[in-house]
Structure 1
Amino acid sequence: MLSFNVSVDVHGGDGEESGPATIGWLLAENESRLIYKPPQRLKQPSPSRPRTHAKSVTACPAVLGLESRLFEVQCPCDLTLRMAETDFGEPAVVNADGPMSTVRDDVFANLIILHPREEWRDPGRPILQMRLPYIFIADEPTYMSQLPPFQHLRKTPLPGLMIPGRFPINVWPRTLTWAFEWHDISAPLELRRGDPLFYVLFEVLPQSRAIQLVEAERTPELEAYLQQINGVVGFVNQTFSLFRAAEELRPAHLVQPKKKP
């Protein structure tokens, strides 16, 4: 059973929620949907033959229950990265596509961030992050997990592991990053536009409720709250300790579905 230690009573009732749980998503200001595609509900792999058995995996409630809560975020661009060293012997990430890269040097410098060596979990395994503009929000207790795309079979495996994470988006909405721990630094890290970069999984109560993902408006209330959240990340190490304080500042509603043109 899920246990949510942080909650926001935005509905004013004592009973359990019913109906779909509405989750909002949006992009950071000035980011283009032409580059950053909307999150998509994970689609079941097409079976190679019709279901002929009641116990088929295509009808398994455990599989279907998980997949119904997974949404896919795609890689925004083609990248081939390699580990290198600076003239001072410090580790560095370089764009191996060079002048043939689709990503300009100034964009690359802001997109890919290599953690300092003292922040790595292992001295031989660099950790980098790709900055992304995706923000997910909710108006009820909701935990979101950011997970590797385990349903996607790559022709060439990644030379390391994506670092997953989990946090409550009803009180701590913020822009996401894709974090990667590079295990085999002799191999390039190849990412292709349109491939699944990661999944997001949403946990709500009761657990049987469906998830409805909608594009959200950037309202003045949401904008002000996001600025308060983003303003403390660089000053506090254990940001989860601020959840209760953030809850007190949180407006009653954050999710306002965007009107279709």
Structure 2
Amino acid sequence: MVEDTLAEITEAGAQRVLVFPTSAYGGYSACRQYDEDIERARASVGDSAPELVKLRQFFDHPLFIAAFADAVRAAHAKLGNQPGTRTVFCAHSVPESADKASGPPSEGGRRYSRQIAEAARLVAAEVGIETYDVVWQSRSGPPQVPWLEPDIVDHIDALHAEGVTSVVVCPVGFVSDHLEVIWDLDNEAAERAAEHGMGFARAATPDTDPRFAELVVELIREHIEGAPARKLSPFPAAGCTINGAPCAVGCCEPAKRPARP
């Protein structure tokens, strides 16, 4: 637990700790919730807790994009670089209301889905892909609550109906091959493609790619050495927070449930 780890760090005498969030993006679940975890952990330790600095979002870092670009190339190679193979970028779906609330109000919302779209664009451009899709996966909750769509499995059905015969899926919203990637993509999406007789290959996540470790080091150096932030998009650098305070007023507020009558 975060609280237990922070207690150990405090006892060891740490005064300032850099926190690397394993999400590259903005949004409540992708960013703000980490701040809440930090705030809760510091409260559990008390006044002796060290300063906790959460590192910034890195969806557009050159090393992040390069790792995914090479993974997409490798996935296409598995399918024999067949002409007409569709590249599909995939990320974790969130409720529409959460996406609308992501980012500071001054941005107009939808920071999460806009960052996902930008990361997909950057990877596609690096590989030289002009036609691609951005879809979603792993939705949960009651079916009457609107979430970001289309779902990856439904999209494979739609691609088959279009006459697409093979697909490369890139989980650009994830940094490692965890359960949701392996189950939703390597099982459910792959099985649906097989039912349609479509070729299917899933691009690897950064995971154990040495460039991902190098990315973390670069983010750390931005703080301890004042190194410039390397980024490929016009999006502002965001997500760096201190002691769980949000990076901007009203940024990525959690969705409020409607009041009961």
TM-score (norm 2): 0.21
TM-score (norm 1): 0.21
Higher share in helix: 2
